[in-house]
Amino acid sequence: MSLYKRIIPCLDVDNGRVVKGTNFINIVDAGDPVEVAKRYDAEGADEIAFLDITATHEGRTTIIETVEKVASEVFIPLTVGGGVSNYNDVLNLLSAGADKVAINSAAVKNPTLINQVTDKIGRQCIVAAIDVKTENKGSWSVYTHGGRNPTGIDAFKWAKELSDRGAGEILLTSMDRDGTKNGFDLELLNLIAKEVTIPVIASGGAGTLEHLKDAVLIGKADAVLAASIFHYSIHSIQEAKEYMKKHGVLVRN
Amino acid sequence: MADIAIIDYGMGNVHSVFKALKKVIDKNSKVKVTNSIKDILNCTHIVFPGQGAAAECMSNIKNNLDIVEFKKIIVQKPFLGICMGLQVLMTHSDENDGAECLNILGGDVLSLKNKVKSSIKVPHMGWNKIDQKYRHPLWANIPNNSFFYFVHSYYVQPINNENILSTTTYGTTFASGLFRDNIVAVQFHPEKSSKIGLKMLENFILWDGEVQ
């Protein structure tokens, strides 16, 4: 048997508040992170992900305070990402109460960072985040710095390398789909989730409950991450779980 | 009224256990992170967390605690081991090049990867069900087959099946909890298992260490 599939709502945090926007514009306040996270926990979310969208120096201090507040009130695993650049950043977030830290651009710049960190604190703490874009049909490359910088690295090879270097999970975001609500890139997911031996979290494109189910059944994802579908209260976590269960996906109830 | 000591021997994150216990204690109770034998002697309940690898964990225990004294206290009052805090109670762990453990509960710590099919992803990371094998006070008001959060690559195999508190199935069925007298120890993380996990911690704090 495989493990129960996880549903992970993702909070974009800016200056200590949850924000939501469309394609990085029209950003509006969506509440206090503690309250939002508590609501998701009560609704049955399996984990909470935080993305620090400012990720500046001040943003880093704020995110640590935010993680501390949330970790005191929410008792499910917390993943924090955005602007994590070295071992100290990881340690500071873990001390603040994060259970896992997502590393993205810093791993591309210095791949041995993944080995260094996981050798010391274990692979379960590190989520390797990959932002990818379709180059040609059937080929995807890795972008860094919030999707601004192309690296020319093949996404499939990079995912394997991150796994070999000790990452505990892969958070795979399709830039083509992110924010579109047109569904996950199932071809990309399937390619990577079948090949790597660590869990793959699908991200980018969730707009309906059917998309969440497809990510698991067709894309072979181990977990699905979604933001707007839950923030806008289009669906509750509970509805998502009931829908997935009805379609034969094992979920925690 | 409880006075809880969370043992800090420099292995991983004790903050989440601390925060979860803070959440469930009443206003007359105290919780403290410590490695002082005096604190451990004076407390009413011991919580023994832990992450990482067994060999490193054992060497940290030896460097941070008076092992002889600690082993005496372990058997005297309600004691809860969590994750690595379960594994180091056993006789021996196969992790890394092998490590001798505290030998409080007889049995071994074995690799999950060697036991399950290669298609099963290890570590076992995520939510899974607990099959309660003994009607222990720890399970008060917790339905059987409730979900708890797991993160581990090794599992325990006790010599004596009467020590099994619960089992869980992931590629194989293994002991996800052990108990004996005043000791309970679990492979999963109650501090990360939402309401059900907090309930289990609350049950532990209310427990006097007696088993029917």
Cβ of residue B172 closer than 8 Å to a chain A Cβ: no
pLDDT of residue A211: 97
Domain CATH for B43: 3.40.50.880
pLDDT of residue A55: 62
Q: How many domains does chain B have?
A: 1
Distance of residue A75 Cα from the nearest chain B Cα, in angstroms = 5
What are the residues whose beta carbons fall under 8 Å from the beta carbon of A26, sequence distance 6 or more?
A: none
pLDDT of residue A27: 65
In a domain, B9, yes or no: yes
In a domain, B58, yes or no: yes
pLDDT of residue A233: 77
pLDDT of residue A143: 94
Cβ of residue B206 closer than 8 Å to a chain A Cβ: no
Residue of B nearest to A197 (CA): B121
Residues in B closer than 8 angstroms to A128, CB to CB, are none
Helix (H, G, I), strand (E, B) or coil at A230: helix
In a domain, B86, yes or no: yes
* Structural domain range at position B171: 3-206
* B196 touches B182 (CB < 8 A): no
pLDDT tens column, B83-130: 999 999 999 999 878 899 999 999 999 999 999 998 888 889 899 999
Q: Residue B68, Cα to own-chain centre: how many angstroms?
A: 20
Could you tell me the maximum CA-CA distance found in chain A, to the nearest angstrom? Answer: 46
Which amino acid is it at A183? G
pLDDT of residue A58: 62
Interface test with A, best of B125, B193, B201 (most A CBs within 10 A): B125
Q: Residue B203 — very low, low, confident or very high, per pLDDT cuts 50/70/90? A: very high
Is residue A245 packed enough to be buried (19+ CB in 10 Å), middle (13-18) or exposed (0-12)?
A: middle
Helix (H, G, I), strand (E, B) or coil at B2: coil
Active site residue A131: yes
pLDDT tens for the 253 residues of chain A, in order: 568 999 999 998 888 888 875 555 566 777 899 999 999 999 999 999 998 877 666 667 778 899 999 999 999 999 999 889 899 999 889 888 899 999 999 999 999 999 999 887 878 889 999 999 998 888 999 999 888 899 999 999 999 999 999 999 999 999 999 888 999 999 999 999 988 989 999 999 999 999 999 999 999 999 999 988 888 778 999 999 999 999 999 999 8
- B158 vs B92, B102, B111, B210, CA distance in Å? 11, 13, 14, 21
Q: Residue A57, Cα to own-chain centre: how many angstroms?
A: 22
d(CA A194, CA A218): 11
* B199 touches B141 (CB < 8 A): yes
Binary contact (A122, B19; C-beta < 8 A) = no
Binary contact (A75, B120; C-beta < 8 A) = no
pTM recorded for the entire structure: 0.92
pLDDT of residue A2: 66
Query: Burial code of A18-41, b = ≥16 C-beta within 10 A, e = fewer?
Result: bbbbeeeeeeeebeebbebbbbbb
In a domain, B76, yes or no: yes
In a domain, B212, yes or no: no
Which span out of A192-201, B58-67, B170-179 was modeled with the highest average pLDDT? Answer: B170-179
* B84 touches B42 (CB < 8 A): no
pLDDT of residue B187: 98
Mean of per-residue pLDDT scores for chain B: 93
Residues in B closer than 8 angstroms to A223, CB to CB, are 126
Residues B182-187 have a mean pLDDT of 98
Q: Which residue has tokens 């939510």?
A: B127
Which residues on adjacent β-strands are paired with residue A103?
A128
Binary contact (A99, B13; C-beta < 8 A) = yes
What is the ipTM score, two decimals?
Answer: 0.89
Binary contact (A121, B52; C-beta < 8 A) = yes
pLDDT of residue A22: 55
Cβ of residue B23 closer than 8 Å to a chain A Cβ: yes
pLDDT of residue B12: 63
In a domain, B166, yes or no: yes
Q: Label the pairing between strands B164-169 and B154-158.
A: unpaired
Interface test with A, best of B121, B144, B191 (most A CBs within 10 A): B121
Q: Residue A246, Cα to own-chain centre: how many angstroms?
A: 25
- Selecting from A6, A72, A121 the residue whose C-beta is nearest the C-beta of B19 gives A72
Q: Which two tokens stand for residue A7?
A: 């549903």
> H/E element holding A210?
helix A209-217
> H/E element holding B22?
helix B15-24
In a domain, B20, yes or no: yes
Distance of residue B118 Cα from the nearest chain A Cα, in angstroms = 9
pLDDT of residue A180: 87
Active site residue A176: no
Angle at CA B75, nearest 5°, toward B71 and B78?
Answer: 125
In a domain, B211, yes or no: no
d(CA A226, CA A173): 11
